[in-house]
Amino acid sequence: MGNSRFLDLLSSGQKLVADGATGTNLQARGLERGLPSDVWVLENPQQIVQLHRDFVAAGADIILTSSFGGTTISLEHSGLAERAAEINRRAVELAKQATAGTDVLVAGSMGPTGEILKPLGKLDEHVAIAAFAEQARALTEAGVDLLVIETQFDLQEASAAVKGARSVSSLPLVVSFSYDRGTRTMTGVKPSQMCREISALGVDVLGINCGRSLEDNLKALEELYQVSSLPIWFKPNAGLPRLDDEEKPIYDVTPEMMAAQVPEWLAAGAQIVGGCCGTSPEHLRQIAQAVKA
């Protein structure tokens, strides 16, 4: 896979728009409370395609497959481990269905396993590598344009994901961390450490997604930009949610508020921007407008 449109676009210096949230938007569309969104790949695929289409219409250049929890380790919990390959493949098919006839790129989403590697946790490194390899293979074979290892918090697990992905796929690789304790991840990783360790593994893009507030995410971005020589992916949450009287999460950051920050994100070094939890298609439409302004 010598030629990649994604990498060509990046090296031409073009700013790109990635999509918004998957989980919170599917919930707003009726994803049952307590169900991981990967389940809808099998059970309610039309809604996934519709959400992808909404992001494409909003101006996304890249959409992510609904395969965040698609490692066998993560799917084990919902009894779907045996269907891992099928879920990943289907997730890609749904994304391709939504982008048919457009230039929009499809990125294979790979989230954390939900377990901690040894010695701190119980997960063997080789088991993690194998699980990530299996997911990366299914996504690659189904035809994604790039792989996005996202919402990572632990260097060991993210490294296992990169090794797994690289062992089966030569697609462009984005690795994105969630700094949910401000500018550190829950295991204490700083953007500079992440940059040093993950760049050394030979990835194409470093990123920040999810995390805490927009302010904290911007700080993390500034720290990363200081040390990174790779292009930067940036998909912050639309702030942190509070709950309304019916216990539904409300994100107070409006599309206008989020879009108003886009120039700052770009100035701080982000080349690919989008949003994580709470980012609706309307948020994304205004973000895209700001990027392309």
Partner 1 sequence: MQGRLKGIYDSIIDGDQAETTKNVQQALDEGLSPVEILNEGMVKAMAEVGRLFEEGEYFVPEMLIAARVMQAGLALIKPQLVKAHVRSSGTVVAGTVKGDLHDIGKNLVCMMLEGAAFEVVDLGADVSPDMFVEAVKSNGANIVAMSALLTTTMPNMRVTIEALKAAGLRDKVKVLVGGAPLSEDYAKKIGADGYSADASKAVAVAKALVAA
Binding site for partner 1 (CB under 8 A): 23-24, 27, 31-36, 74, 77-78, 114-116, 120-121, 180-182, 184-188, 241-243, 247-249
The tokens describing 224, both together, are 């990363």
Q: ω into residue 255 within 30 of 0, thus cis?
A: no
User: For partner 1, which is the closer residue by CB, 20 or 59?
Assistant: 20
User: For partner 1, which is the closer residue by CB, 23 or 45?
Assistant: 23
User: For partner 1, which is the closer residue by CB, 88 or 99?
Assistant: 88
User: For partner 1, which is the closer residue by CB, 35 or 127?
Assistant: 35
User: For partner 1, which is the closer residue by CB, 46 or 78?
Assistant: 78
Which residues lie below 8 Å from residue 32, measured CB to CB, with a gap of 6+?
A: none
User: For partner 1, which is the closer residue by CB, 77 or 126?
Assistant: 77
- Shortest distance, position 121 Cβ to partner 1, whole Å: 8
Which residues lie below 8 Å from residue 230, measured CB to CB, with a gap of 6+?
A: 199, 203, 204, 205, 206
- Shortest distance, position 123 Cβ to partner 1, whole Å: 11
User: For partner 1, which is the closer residue by CB, 36 or 191?
Assistant: 36
User: For partner 1, which is the closer residue by CB, 143 or 188?
Assistant: 188
Residue 4: exposure state from Cβ atoms within 10 A (0-12, 13-18, ≥19): middle
CB count within 10 Å of CB 271 equals 20
